[in-house]
Amino acid sequence: MSFSIQEIAANAVQARVRIRHHIYQTPLIPARQIGHDNDAKVLFKAENFQFTGSFKVRGALSKLSSPTAQTRLITASSGNHGIGAAFASAVLSKELTVVLPKTVLQAKLEKIKSFNVEVILHGTETGQAEQHAQQLAASGSYTYISPYNDAEIIAGQATIGLEILEQLDEIDNVFISMGGGGLLSGIGSVLKTLRPQTKVYGISATNSKALAASIAAGHVIETYHLPTLAEAVAGGIDEDTITLALASSVLDHIIECDEAEILKAVKALATQENIIAEGSAALALAGFNKVANKLTGQTSVIILCGGNVEHDFISRVVCSD
């Protein structure tokens, strides 16, 4: 089944009504230093300040509050979607199992377990965890919830776009990290429907770029997945994912960033902006940094998608050369 960006935008309005009492409308924070050297106005949409530490709770609440989520549920995640889904299951009294790769960050694993959901560890990257959850659902014991390949999940993420348009009169560019494509498809659908002149940049980690490579190929392809600081956006995508068509229709530019560029962006957020963000959030800033010299006089919003980091991660980054 395919969806138009107009349908996603309309669904976002409905999703917002369902989830607004369970989420935090995150601030749009003007940068203190970043962008100033290029005379570019930069603002951070701080989903790292969301109740669960990432935007993923929006999509999870949207899905779990919908009529289609009535039976025993199972989902898969690299961590942040699992946290959001576990939180949603707790506040909405839903039974949930979360499948995670064995490489999940300990801090994210502990947070998921704190909501008393069943946890299964399987595989070494998110795509393998997703495939295992889908196999378990195929047995008939569960209803599977994709972390990105679901219109109601995407509509929840799209509520970020609605908030941005209320918080900011003019927006020239938005920079969004690319994983499975739910965040990109959601925000992009709202902006291209309501503010079509806004340029949408999708930022992909070189070490794990399934969606970017699939968009370039015009169909879903397999890619190698190497370790990345942006682990929350790592892993493969479903062959039938609706995000491929949606992302392709809203994207103006794709930028790839390597590990050194992501690390530099994490450090810049901490030292220049006093913002703690995980690698997947810093990835969006890394993409902005690569084109900042072309954006003089423009207003850009950088989506900080999450801030769930290990306790010593930021200290190591700040002290690095």
Expressed as residue numbers, the domain containing 124 is 56-145
**238 and 291 housed in the same domain:** yes
Mind listing the pLDDT tens digit for each residue in 245-273?
Answer: 999 999 999 999 999 999 999 999 999 99
Q: What is the pLDDT of residue 148?
A: 95
Mean pLDDT of the chain: 95
124 lies in the same domain as 246: no
Domain count of the fold of the chain: 2
d(CA 136, CA 213): 28
Residues 139 and 88 placed together within one structural domain of the fold: yes
User: What is the distance between the terminal CA atoms of the chain, rounded to a whole angstrom?
Assistant: 48
Say what the pLDDT of residue 151 is: 97
Please state the pTM of the whole predicted model: 0.95
Q: Are residues 37 and 121 in the same domain?
A: no
pLDDT, residue 300, reads 98
pLDDT at 255: 98
Q: Which of these three, 145, 176, 193, is where a domain ends? A: 145
pLDDT (mean) for 20-42: 96
CA gap 262, 175 in Å, rounded: 14
Percentage, residues of the chain above pLDDT 90 = 88
Residue with token string 């576990």: 86
Asked whether residue 186 falls in the same domain as residue 288, the answer is yes
Give, in order, the Cα–Cα distances in Å from 54 to each of 1, 23, 85: 28, 11, 11
281 lies in the same domain as 205: yes
- Per-residue pLDDT of 121-157, as tens digits, reads 999 988 899 999 999 999 888 999 999 999 999 999 9
